[in-house]
Structure 1
Amino acid sequence: RTLAVIMGRDRTRAYYVTLLVLAFVTLGLGIILGPLPEWASLGFVTVPLALPPARSIMTRVDGPGLIAALGGTARLQLAVALAISVGLFVA
């Protein structure tokens, strides 16, 4: 059984959204507390890319809808990594 099956639908949805939010909170804390340069805040331009997969996870229950959310999450991860990398390179 997968973690999502063990946790159940509602808790899995909350867990997914929590992880999305915490990723950006962690980025902000890294900038505010000093380990990351201000240019790393370029990662925040990807926040709009987090909305479609989060909406899909919160509203869809069918396989194709959730597979689309998985693809959106992968694109988000790539975009965040690239944006932060550009920020670190510029800094």
Structure 2
Amino acid sequence: MTVSLKTLPDSVLNRLHELHGELSPEALTADGEISESEWAPRKRLLDAELLQIQASHGLNQDDVDEFAVMREVGHRREASRRSRAPRMR
């Protein structure tokens, strides 16, 4: 079976999306309000979680790229929105 973002459960995909948000420089550093000694341990934990998800689901680095994850989240949201939209006759 080929593993890709398309085959991941929503919960895993959403966690990858959240991790990328938490790993943004603004989020990590509280917009520059905290020192590297304060944010670096948090970054190590988040990076480790990202690697664990990648390994446990057989994903490669390109699969967990922030933009690939954002694109798949967007596709799923659009598909969900379309499936709920009333059908025109």
TM-score (normalizing by structure 1): 0.38
TM-score (normalizing by structure 2): 0.38
Q: Which has the higher contact order (CA 8 A, sep 6+)?
A: 2
Q: Which has the larger radius of gyration?
A: 2
